[in-house]
Chains A and B, each alone.
Chain A
């Protein structure tokens, strides 16, 4: 393109980043929250404190209870998935499919009684997790849009690296007192460069996680499109069995669970049961990944009629398959303990900040000269910036708030939580349109800070078992969660103060004027 290689790359970086920036911000924020998906789900079901987890020795009986429930509730389902209780998820988590075109089902049971557990209906952290790669759209649409955004981010990262002339000498530079354009550029560089290995890793491995959907052509040519055979041959699943179309009684799962536990030393996560009451009925026991980076669940497949072991899958992947599962594992970071998880979370926050500062930078760089009217494109970008950077965090906070404030017995409760999420997002995106631009930023940031505080208040007010109401007894999780919300509130309040203090290029001032009030000076917004 004109102007040489570096200019073309700068152009590519600017525009590729802008067009997908708003969606990317949502993907980054919900993905970062998903590092604590299980904790969020647990927090959103405070009744779980009353449920005791089941010991490994009880699992065969617990699985039988799940099967008894499914026999009554979903006898004609094509497949059943039984999530067995874990220390951090003490309930039986059941899911069943009826085949194409018919809705699937879901239930949570008390593992000790086999009856539906008295917990509030919520999608918990799973909503944020699925939003991260489906955007709450039909899966096919959502995943393709996320994939295109991720691919564009990869291009934006590469062109950004190429554009950045002095990557080493600017590595540590954040000039907070300079003109806002300068400090936003520094913040964009610092968040981008400091966590660059993370950004490249998370983008590429994210695409790889759904790679066979985006790039199925290898399976098309080498397997004539038969992806199940590909998965089985590469060692990721046990060999699939089609129905034999001969009826046969399915054997009890208890002994199979006991045998699976004796075969693999890892924690048993769940069972999948397909082709029930058919001669090819198959029960697969799926275990947690062993210690390591790779997303590689050991599996034991049983003949559902005889109860005999068909196949044991545990390790032994070839190089490329191992690379693939390691990439998926790196993306999901199941392996990370508390400290490493926190570092991943921090890197995710930096990714979100990189996207947000990049978006704001675009609009700052195009502010009109004094007295001039902002062009339509700029006003559109400014509105979308506020709508995503303020709107999404506000929506997440309202989602948590709705979980605490909606009555637990409300019919369709989990759907109402999600409606609250989107209603808050729409409101937080529309209200600023009626306000002066910079006021809208500081008000929006204050609003998000206030919502985070409201979550903490609602948590303490509504949860009787909250540790602060029991003199420190009870689950520390609630304290951690509330502490994180307080930290976020402080972060947003700090940002609001910065925006309010900065006397920025208002229409009556020349653009290059010093724009930050001196430290200590009173805000005069």
Chain B
């Protein structure tokens, strides 16, 4: 079931990194034109870190605690590259892409759960 876990990992990593990135003044301003409110910063950071931890736990449980972390880090780097490129060339797409990534993660999770 590696492809499903990888999709889950990539999606979750991308969404989590996008949340963390939106919690930073500069990037929030790039996309929405304003600084984020204090509450929004906290919310985005909590969601972002929770997503990263969840990704690690899912990868570890699904692939074993030797493969899982390796795959998690790989997915994190891959998602990070995508996010940075999107952010500098098409910043407006970051939010929809984050939502789509979350969808991909859910699809991967569903496939993993039911298949």
Contact = CB atoms under 8 A, between A and B. Distances in A.
CB atoms of A and B under 8 A apart anywhere in the complex? Answer: yes
Interface of A: 169, 171-176, 190, 194-195, 197-198, 292-293, 326, 330, 335, 337, 339-340, 343-344, 346-347, 350
A197 B21 contact: no
A330 B84 contact: no
Contact of A176 (B21, B74, B83, B89): B89
A330 B89 CA distance: 33
A174 B66 contact: no
A293 B70 contact: yes
Contact of B73 (A176, A198, A335): A198
Contacts of A343: 74-75, 77-78
Contact of B88 (A169, A174, A195, A337): A174
Contacts of A172: 17, 21, 24, 27, 80, 83-84, 87
A337 B71 CA distance: 10
Interface size class of B (residues with CB under 8 A): 20 to 34
Q: What does DSSP make chain B's interface, helix, strand, loop or mixed?
A: helix
A292 B17 CA distance: 28
A178 to B, nearest CB: 11
Nearest to B25: A169
B6 interface: yes
Nearest to A343: B74
Contacts of A344: 74
Contact of A195 (B2, B77, B83): B77
A339 B6 CA distance: 8
B38 interface: no
Given A339-B2, A340-B70, A198 B77 contact: yes
Interface string B39-83: 000000000000000000000000000110011011111101101
B3 interface: yes
A350 B81 contact: yes
| Most B C-beta atoms less than 10 A away, residue of A171, A190, A335, A339 | A339
B92 interface: no
A211 B34 CA distance: 52
Contact of A347 (B3, B17, B74): B74
Nearest to A177: B88
A176 B86 CA distance: 12
Given A198-B77, A340-B71, A346-B78, A293 B66 contact: yes
Interface of B: 2-3, 6, 17, 20-21, 24, 26-27, 66-67, 70-71, 73-78, 80-81, 83-85, 87-89
A198 B69 CA distance: 12
A340 B26 contact: no
A198 B83 CA distance: 18
A340 B83 CA distance: 19
18 contacts: A171-B20, A172-B21, A172-B80, A172-B83, A172-B87, A173-B26, A174-B84, A174-B88, A194-B80, A195-B77, A197-B73, A197-B76, A198-B74, A293-B67, A293-B70, A340-B70, A340-B74, A350-B81
Contacts of A346: 77-78, 81
B84 A194 contact: yes
A197 B17 CA distance: 16
Closest 6 CB pairs of A and B: A343-B74, A194-B80, A172-B21, A174-B88, A195-B77, A197-B73
B87 A197 contact: no
A281 B96 CA distance: 67
A346 B74 CA distance: 9
Contacts of B27: 172-173
B38 to A, nearest CB: 16
A174 B74 CA distance: 20
B67 A335 contact: yes
Contacts of A176: 88-89
Given A176-B88, A340-B70, A347-B77, 14 more contacts: A172-B27, A172-B83, A173-B27, A174-B85, A174-B87, A176-B89, A194-B81, A194-B84, A197-B73, A292-B67, A293-B70, A339-B6, A344-B74, A347-B74
B1 to A, nearest CB: 12
Contacts of B67: 292-293, 335
Contacts of B74: 198, 340, 343-344, 347
A335 B17 CA distance: 27
A250 B66 CA distance: 42
A171 to B, nearest CB: 7
B77 A350 contact: yes
| Most B C-beta atoms less than 10 A away, residue of A169, A330, A340 | A340
Contacts of A169: 24, 26
B100 to A, nearest CB: 18
A346 B21 CA distance: 21
B21 to A, nearest CB: 4
Contacts of A292: 66-67
Given A172-B27, A194-B80, A339 B21 contact: no
